[in-house]
Amino acid sequence: MRVYSIRAPADRYSIDLLERNYRLRHTIFVDMQGWEAIRRPDRRDIDAFDTGDATHLLLLDGEELVGGSRFTPLDKPNLLQTVFPGLVQGTFPAPPSHGADWTRFYVRPDRREGRRRAPESAALFCAMMEYALLEGYCFITFVSTIYMLEHGVSMGWRITPLGAPALIDGKPTLAAWIEVSEEALANVRRVTGQTAPMLVERGMSHDTLPAPAAARH
């Protein structure tokens, strides 16, 4: 498994991968999780934040897309401050340019069933911390049900609420930030048994592109 980070895709492979991501997101978030508000007739989940500012971390197993996440710099229009300002009562730990908003986390449901800790989500969690360190972010914000607090803390992440939880669709939901640090990366790697970096850059420049996975192994 490997995680590609894609931003403003330039090559055909990345554009195609991003397209598959939008369709899979629609299946998962709309069809399976019932987010009717974002349903679209073309069955692609694309919102106001899927812009050139967004970076997509996409998890591939072979050539199959099995998970993903999206990051938006907090000094650009973002979901947290646009859609959920009511959940934010506290202040960020650093200027907005030092943080990113984490949204649309998913692992394909058939990959999560009956697994004690699915390697797919472990890979994505490792990759997101690698990505945040690489970009020089010092915090990551998110909006989630409060259950994410247990998941994150159990991986050795420091998580601080940005405000009190509110009931959204009947579920206690909060905004919070995760501290980005080498320690957080070491902890999530240790807990998930991940020893090697997961993140592969893609779509930044043709010169540095690794050979297609099929050719590598």
Partner 1 sequence: MNADFMSIIEAIQQQTDSAGIREIMYGAIENYGFRSFIISGLPDRGQDVRPFVLLSGWNEEWYERYADLGYVHLDPVARNCFSTTKPFDWSDAPYDREADLPARRVMEEARDFGMDEGFCVPIHMEGGMQGAVSLVGGTQELDDKRRLELHMLALYAHGQLRFLSSSRPDLAPRRAITGRESEVLKWVAAGKTAGEIADITGLSTRTVNQHCENAQQRLGTNNRVHTVVEAIRHKLITL
In the complex, the residues that contact partner 1 under the rule CB under 8 A are 89-90, 112, 114-118, 121, 146-147, 149-156, 158-161, 163-165, 172, 182, 187, 189-191, 195-198, 200, 208, 210
Which H or E element spans position 186? helix 182-192
Say if CB 29 and CB 104 are below 8 A apart: yes
Look up residue 164 and give its amino acid: A
Q: Shortest distance, CB of residue 196 to partner 1, whole angstroms?
A: 3
Q: Is the dihedral of CA 210, 202, 15, 42 positive or negative?
A: positive
The closest alpha carbon to 117, from 193, 195, 206, 203, belongs to 193
Closest contact distance (angstroms) between CB of 179 and partner 1 is 9
Greatest alpha-carbon pair distance for the chain in Å reads 50
Task: Please identify, using beta-carbon distances, which residue of 54 and 127 lies nearer to partner 1.
Answer: 127
Which C-beta is closer to partner 1: that of 54 or that of 155?
155
Separation CA 7–CA 175 (nearest Å):
25
Closest contact distance (angstroms) between CB of 210 and partner 1 is 5
Closest CB 164 distance from partner 1, rounded Å: 5
Nearer to partner 1, 39 or 190 (CB): 190
76 vs 151, beta carbon nearer partner 1 = 151
